[in-house]
Chain A
């Protein structure tokens, strides 16, 4: 065992500190700061009185005297813009403030109180929401009359529904939390619970909602003033300025530019800040890395050991190497120098811990490792054709036609919006010339093969149990009678009795159709039960391989022995000790592409001096197969190795 300590997890930087985010935050804050400064000091900043008219100078373009020109009454546009920013700030504060003041307390109250209060209030809210927002505002203005403050009152009431629903939904989730129930049990008063426990949770989404509302209010104020029922002339607001600009569009088109730009920039700044806030609270969309393009020339055949193909090979994989690029950059090999073969009609069980590279190998066969991973060297001979040297179009043809795959979890691997018939016939549609009627017949036949009635054809996956769905997935894989089926943990998501049925089904189909299976699994007993041969994977390559019975009953590699012994110990103290030892060893357990020495030496109880110097080659084992361990040789030479009381 090594004394390597587990590295402390890095504390992630807050989202707003990242450079890409700062590039958004800094300009947004700058825009809003300018707006507030203009609003506060409009009287000092504006070069002219925003209301003083000069009809001789009307509708002028930008000049040294009037930087943004003059409007229809000869008023200075820059000054009106600056005073307009004051209106914008007042509007945003009034309407948003009112919305929060009405929405949050009412939402908290009805959420906490529930019952009739909640029911009646929510029906009113739903009624308001089903009318276009601006129409609600217009109705309120029709009752109250026009003008900035009345219009903002109307908007405040309108947007309070958003805050009300937000507060209510948070209360509804939080009141069921254990700590709130606990507070109630120890006799804390209702108001105390509301303030202490719930208000803290409501703050982050509330801030996000406030920024969104400010943006919406600014737009609504401009809209209402534009149609003439918000701010009234001659008062300068960006909306009324747009109204003027629209009327004199043909005489001076520039008039629309300053208020238009101001509205766009301000609303954009507010919304971008809101997005950053929302992402830093953690509800943003995670974007997957784009798939790196894999140039075909990059795949090389492993130098040296070229394995001669045998006539009965269904699949021959040689010197396979797969690289992935983790999130923090760079390249890490997950499969290194991996070679195996599967004869026709044979099942090879590929077995190893999670992250040993077995699933990546299977996906590599399907040519769909996915974003962030690619094959850098090796051969994959399927019936004499190297899958890695096919053009993308040829590879698409090979998938489904020659190789098929059954995935681990049938609840997620069937498309929920397609019927069983569509799922099963999809490969036929793409790869064969069969007519629609033929395809349907074939699908019905396939369903019978997996022991399901053909009446299931028009149904959707969500109507079936896990075992039934896995049968459907198997039927789809069998559709074009592939030479090889990759089974990625085909039964581990199913319950035990269903597992048995699926395994028997797979057996039966293989023998009837003469296919080969590559079975990927972490349950050695299961692998032993189904497979003809077993390959044990450790850190991206095969450490032991041989006939299933020999590997299961007489493992030659210490790693295989350790896995077979990995049944939990009954003594908790010993189990705990073993687990912490394993964890320490696993921390040092990273794939090494170019490293002398046996990859397993740090976890091996029998590690010898030579194990640190060079990696053992694949040595033949009595009873068939090979193992990459010097102990195999030691056995043959008659040297007694420590007996198999493995503590790893």
Chain B
């Protein structure tokens, strides 16, 4: 169901594929956040925040999470690449007419120019994501910013 026809219908048709695709990635990211948080919570500045009388919730959400997200952002950009690959299969499962079905049809017909085009588009998406990641990285981590 395309977005132009019905927003609700589109949301309805996209929910399950998105869930199928996102669940495994969310597990990978949860793992990253956990290990980063374990490291950050042992830092001195968390002890200092506790000594300032901040609530546990404020410490975790404001002081710890922002620092823990720095390594997670890097992983996130790799995850986007993996998600794009996963989308090829999820499209098949949910019979979505997307770039994945196009690629598979092209393989079957040995349509090399079409495959080249698809790869080019995917690479452009990945590069755009990497660029956004690098900018986000600078925003969230002052050490990576030119002063």
Contacts and interface: CB of A to CB of B under 8 A. Distances in A.
Contacts of B35: 285
A427 B52 contact: yes
Interface stretch (A128-136, A184-192, A522-530, A628-636): A128-136
A287 B42 CA distance: 10
A412 B43 contact: yes
B50 A417 contact: no
A423 to B, nearest CB: 9
Contact of B103 (A138, A223, A459, A486): A138
A413 B46 CA distance: 8
Nearest to B81: A132
A395 B53 CA distance: 7
Contacts of B49: 415, 426
A283 to B, nearest CB: 11
B47 A370 contact: yes
A227 B92 contact: yes
Interface in B22-44: 34-35, 38-39, 41-44
Contact of A142 (B48, B55, B107): B107
Chain B interface size, under 10 / 10 to 19 / 20 to 34 / 35 or more: 35 or more
Contacts of A426: 49, 52, 54
B45 A132 contact: no
Contact of A430 (B41, B58, B108, B147): B58
Contact of B42 (A130, A146, A288): A288
A78 interface: no
Given A285-B38, A415-B63, A426-B49, A131 B122 contact: yes
Contacts of B70: 417
Interface stretch (A98-106, A399-407, A536-544): A399-407
A226 interface: yes
Given A130-B126, A138-B103, A407 B48 contact: yes
Interface string A426-443: 110011000000000000
Given A130-B126, A287-B38, A404 B51 contact: yes
A409 B34 CA distance: 26
Given A139-B115, A407-B44, A412-B43, A430 B53 contact: yes
B82 A132 contact: yes
B119 interface: yes
A476 interface: yes
A76 B139 CA distance: 58
B82 A138 contact: no
B143 A229 contact: no
A130 B78 CA distance: 9
Interface residues of A, number: 57
B122 A135 contact: yes
B73 interface: no
A459 B142 CA distance: 9
A611 interface: no
Of residues B51, B103, B104, which shows the largest number of chain A Cβ atoms within 10 Å of its Cβ? B51
A43 B107 CA distance: 33
A261 interface: no
Interface string B65-107: 0110010000000000110111011001100000010011011
B123 interface: yes
Contact of B52 (A223, A226, A228, A476): A476
A473 interface: yes
B89 A223 contact: yes
Contact of B147 (A286, A413, A463): A463
A463 B82 CA distance: 37
A398 B51 CA distance: 10
Given A131-B123, A226-B92, A413 B44 contact: yes
Name the residue in B34, B49, B63, B130 with the highest tally of chain A Cβ atoms < 10 Å from its Cβ: B49
Contacts of B126: 130-132
Nearest to B110: A142
Contacts of A229: 104, 107-108
Contact of B47 (A368, A397, A404): A368
B82 A227 contact: no
B65 to A, nearest CB: 10
Contacts of A404: 51-52
A627 interface: no
Given A142-B110, A370-B47, 5 more contacts: A133-B85, A227-B88, A227-B89, A415-B45, A476-B52
